[in-house]
Amino acid sequence: MEMISGLQMMLSLHFGMFFWLDDDDDFCYCPAFKDGTADLDNWGYVSEWQDLQDVNLDKLFYIHKSLVTDKVTEYERQLV
């Protein structure tokens, strides 16, 4: 996980994109440049994807699960 622009983001080499949960816990993405940096000018919501035929949903759900787990873990740390 990387912190970019104040967001905890995960780079997926499989998708060639960064993923994160926004302040409303919506699942967001943006493309990754070849140098591994995030193209934040072209971000969007995963829920708006229309063609899922070739999307590996197992990998996508694993990314979402990891982001949720990390967010909950960070929240619990703040309580202590």
pLDDT digits (tens, 9 = 90+) for 35-47: 999 999 999 999 9
Residue 61 pLDDT > 80: yes
Helix (H, G, I), strand (E, B) or coil at 44: strand
Overall average pLDDT of the 6-27 stretch: 93
For residue 3, pLDDT over 90 is answered with: no
* Residue ranges per structural domain of the chain: 2-79
Q: Locate tokens 């703040």: which residue? A: 78
Separation CA 18–CA 2 (nearest Å): 9
- Taking the CA atoms of residue 72, residue 51, residue 39 and residue 44 in that order, the dihedral angle to the nearest 10 degrees is -60
How much is the pLDDT for 20?
Answer: 97
Q: What 8-state DSSP symbol labels residue 37?
A: -
Q: In the prediction, which pLDDT does 36 show?
A: 92
Q: How far is Cα 48 from Cα 39, in angstroms, rounded to an integer?
A: 18
Q: What is the mean pLDDT of residues 21-28?
A: 95
pTM confidence score: 0.89
